[in-house]
Structure 1
Amino acid sequence: MTHILLVEDEVKLARFVELELTYEGYQVSVAYDGLTALTAARELHLDLVILDWMLPGLSGLEICRRLRSSGDKVPIILLTAKDEVSDRVASLDAGANDYVVKPFSVEELLARVRTHLRRSQEADAADILEFEDLSLNRRTREVYRCNRFIELTAKEFDLLEYLLAHPRQIITCDRILEKVWNYDDFMGDSDIIEVYIRYLRLKLETNNEKRLIQTVRGVGYVLCD
């Protein structure tokens, strides 16, 4: 279920918006001050945040800045009575995705929520690379084969990501060195690739799964069944 954090210190307004969101089928958590909101945003798995600008403790802008500085990309809709161009610019610069001026129509707010959830879901889908029973999430840097989590080092992940981005294409060792190791003009041998391919195969085939990374002798490698 889609999980939304609503942050609003006006209790009646918060309750009204919470009921409307719940009626639309969303799971809603509510915070009434900035510090509680920041803690909730960091601890909960959220799909969207609706955030008032003026809050006790921490302002909505400061919460935006702190979430973005930590790498959190959750969509944020800022609610505020401020309506100057400079205020809109400040909210966007702080990391908000959208800006709704009070008083607002709940239908408009719900439409904005749907829009940003749809965009977020589309972006999430673009982060997933899949081949056969293997999947890789570029955003979370998680890899699964069937339902088994596979822990990779940073360079193992980069190599697998490049192969998954080019399925069924024979990729030369020179190309892999250029794209994964950033060697534009690598003059040595390709032993390093062979070593990392072996590491990947060991991890991907732990349960005797079929081999997906094939060697093309004298050329390079290909991801195929």
Structure 2
Amino acid sequence: MAGAGRGLVLVVEDEAAIAEVIELYLRRDGFDVRIESDGESALTAWQQLQPVAVILDIGLPGRDGADVCRTMRAAGDWTPVLFVTARDDEVDRLLGLEIGADDYITKPFSPRELAARVRTVLRRTTTPFPTGRPPDDVAPGGEVLSVGDVRVDLGRRRAWAGEVEVSLTSTEFELLAQLFRRPGRVFERDELLSSVWGYQSAAGTRTVDVHIAQLRAKLGETSPIRTVRGVGYAADRDG
């Protein structure tokens, strides 16, 4: 069954039956699919095929999925990565997010839900707003938002801390942009989870905390993100 132009998704899964079901649902959604069963083959396929997204099992033989993701991010590649794993421990989930994954789903899972999450993360990558249209108070087009010394170009999906461009995952970018659209407004964690992820992430609101921590680390001293204890986060012009 041929894809319908949505691009190629690299599926890295050593359980053949699971990989085949994932492939079936992705192809139904119009994606082309390449399946690999180990980390080394996954890295070769990633370099050669330049997929639009990677579905990556953590527990791979030999080089595990976490190392594959680290290698991609170290190379400056921010292709969306969705981790799939049998582990259901919060520490494992948060570690996956910390090393650069965009989302995390545990086995057993619904292949329909996994396909929906791929679509969602790709919408964040290809449109400046998670709903595909801007909020009423934000003009469309190549708008650049600034809070303090940090700038976000919504149209080109690029960000700068001072004069230095910052490499962000699609999820990190959308989270930062969401805060920047309403400077000074305090967003609750549940609100950010709904508006940025578009569904209830496996890690719950803790995934918001992890991504905020990653953003602060990347923005360094220029970060304008403020924690409102017990509530959520805001981007303040005063830093």
What's the TM-score bracket when you normalise by the shorter of the two chains?
0.5 to 0.7
Superposition misfits of 4+ residues, deviation over 4 angstroms: 136-139
Q: For this pair of structures, how many residues does the alignment match?
A: 131
Q: Does 1:62 align with 2:92?
A: no
3-state DSSP of counterpart to 1:95: coil
Q: Does 1:94 align with 2:80?
A: no
Q: In 1, are the aligned partners of 2:84 and 2:106 still within 8 Å (CA)?
A: yes
Structure 2 residue aligned with 1:3: 8
Structure 1 residue aligned with 2:116: 111
1:59-83 deviations in Å (ceiling 9; x for gaps) = 1100111100110000000000111
CA–CA separation in structure 1 for the residues paired with 2:116 and 2:24 = 16
Q: What do you get for the CA RMSD once the two structures are aligned? A: 2.2
3-state DSSP of counterpart to 2:27: helix
Structure 2 residue aligned with 1:35: 40
What amino acid does structure 2 have at the position aligned with 1:93?
Answer: E
Structure 1 residue aligned with 2:237: none
Q: In 1, are the aligned partners of 2:21 and 2:111 still within 8 Å (CA)?
A: no
CA–CA separation in structure 2 for the residues paired with 1:65 and 1:81 = 20
If asked which structure has higher relative contact order (CA below 8 Å, sep 6+), I would say 2
1:158-208 deviations in Å (ceiling 9; x for gaps) = xxxxxxxxxxxxxxxxxxxxxxxxxxxxxxxxxxxxxxxxxxxxxxxxxxx
3-state DSSP of counterpart to 1:71: coil
TM-score with structure 1 length normalisation? 0.54
1:113-151 deviations in Å (ceiling 9; x for gaps) = 1110100112599xx97xxxxxx9787xxxxxxxxxxxx
CA–CA separation in structure 1 for the residues paired with 2:72 and 2:34 = 17
CA–CA separation in structure 1 for the residues paired with 2:8 and 2:128 = 17
CA–CA separation in structure 1 for the residues paired with 2:103 and 2:13 = 16
Structure 1 gap ranges (5+): 130-135, 140-225
Q: Which one of the candidate residues 5, 16, 28 is aligned to 1:23?
A: 28
TM-score with structure 2 length normalisation? 0.51
What amino acid does structure 2 have at the position aligned with 1:31?
Answer: E
Alpha-carbon spacing, 1:138–1:75, altered in 2? closer, same or farther (3 Å): closer
3-state DSSP of counterpart to 2:127: helix
Q: How much does 1:41 deviate? A: 1.1
CA–CA separation in structure 1 for the residues paired with 2:114 and 2:156 = 30
Identical aligned pairs, as a percentage? Answer: 44
Q: Does 1:85 align with 2:90?
A: yes
What amino acid does structure 2 have at the position aligned with 1:92?
Answer: L
Q: In 1, are the aligned partners of 2:128 and 2:157 still within 8 Å (CA)?
A: no
From the CA coordinates, give the structure whose radius of gyration is larger. 1
